[in-house]
Amino acid sequence: MPFYNSSGKIPKKRHTVFKNPNGGIYYEELVSREGFSYIYSNLYHLKMPTEIKSLGTFKKDDRYNYLKQDHKPYHFEMNKKNKLLVYNNDIAISTIYFKPNDINNSLIFQRNGDCDNLLYIQEGNGLLKTNYGDLEYHEGDYIIIPRGVIFQNDILSKHISGLLIESKSPIETPSRYRNRLGQLLEHSPFCERDIRIPKLNNPIDEQGDFEIQVRFRTGIKSYIYNNHPFDVIGWDGYYFPWILNINDFEPVTGSIHQPPPVHQTFEGKGFVICSFVSRLFDYHPDAIPAPYPHSNVDSDEVIFYSKGNFMSRKGINPGSVTYHPMGLPHGPQPGKYEESIGKKNTDELAVMVDTFEPLYIAREAEKNSDNNYPLSWLKK
- 123 vs 346: which has the higher pLDDT: 123
Structure confidence at residue 306 as a pLDDT band (50, 70, 90): very high
- Which of 206, 244, 242, 201 has its CA nearest to residue 225? 206
Q: What angle do CA 304, 71, 118 make, to 5 degrees?
A: 30
The pLDDT value recorded for residue 330 is: 86
Residue-wise DSSP of 292-349:
PPB--TT-EEEEEEEES--TT-SS--TT-EEEE-TTS-B-PPTTHHHHTTT--EE--E
- 106 vs 73: which has the higher pLDDT: 73
- Which of 320, 342, 138, 336 has its CA nearest to residue 243? 138
Span(s) in the chain for CATH 2.60.120.10: 50-229+241-245, 249-370
Could you give the 3-state DSSP secondary structure of residue 141?
A: strand
- Which of 304, 309, 307, 320 has its CA nearest to residue 346? 309
Those residues whose C-beta lies under 8 Å from the C-beta of residue 153, and which sit 6 or more positions away, are: 98, 103, 104, 110, 126, 127, 128, 129
Q: What is the pLDDT of residues 314-336, one digit of tens each?
A: 778 888 999 999 988 888 887 77
Alpha carbon 374 to its chain's center = 28
In the predicted structure, residue 257 carries a pLDDT above the cut 90 = no
* Alpha carbon distance 86, 275 (integer Å): 19
Q: What is the pLDDT of residues 101-116, one digit of tens each?
A: 877 677 789 999 999 9
Those residues whose C-beta lies under 8 Å from the C-beta of residue 83, and which sit 6 or more positions away, are: 76, 94, 95, 362, 364, 365, 368
* Alpha carbon distance 140, 142 (integer Å): 7
Query: Percentage of the chain surpassing pLDDT 70?
Result: 99
Query: Percentage of the chain surpassing pLDDT 90?
Result: 69
Q: What angle do CA 169, 173, 178 make, to 5 degrees?
A: 125
Contact 165, 117 (CB under 8 A): yes
In the predicted structure, residue 361 carries a pLDDT above the cut 70 = yes
In the predicted structure, residue 100 carries a pLDDT above the cut 70 = yes
Contact 111, 214 (CB under 8 A): yes
Q: What is the pTM of this model?
A: 0.93
* Alpha carbon distance 92, 195 (integer Å): 24
Those residues whose C-beta lies under 8 Å from the C-beta of residue 196, and which sit 6 or more positions away, are: 135, 136, 242, 243, 244
In the predicted structure, residue 303 carries a pLDDT above the cut 70 = yes
CATH of 50-229+241-245, one of 3.30.1360.120, 2.60.120.10, 1.20.1250.20, 3.40.50.2300: 2.60.120.10
The pLDDT value recorded for residue 104 is: 65
Q: Domain 249-370: what homologous superfamily?
A: Jelly Rolls (2.60.120.10)
- 276 vs 257: which has the higher pLDDT: 276
In the predicted structure, residue 61 carries a pLDDT above the cut 80 = yes
- 79 vs 35: which has the higher pLDDT: 35
Mean pLDDT of 166-184: 95
Q: Could you give the maximum distance between any two Cα atoms of the chain, in Å?
A: 79
How confident is the prediction for the chain on average, in pLDDT? 92
First CA to last CA distance, the chain: 49
Q: What is the pLDDT of residues 131-171, one digit of tens each?
A: 999 999 999 999 999 999 999 999 999 999 999 999 999 99
* Alpha carbon distance 118, 9 (integer Å): 29
Q: How far is CA 28 from CA 10, 17, 22, in A?
A: 10, 9, 17
- Which of 42, 265, 93, 32 has its CA nearest to residue 171? 265
Contact 219, 58 (CB under 8 A): yes
Q: What is the dihedral of CA 317, 321, 324, 325, to 10 degrees?
A: -170
Could you give the 3-state DSSP secondary structure of residue 182?
A: coil
The pLDDT value recorded for residue 1 is: 61
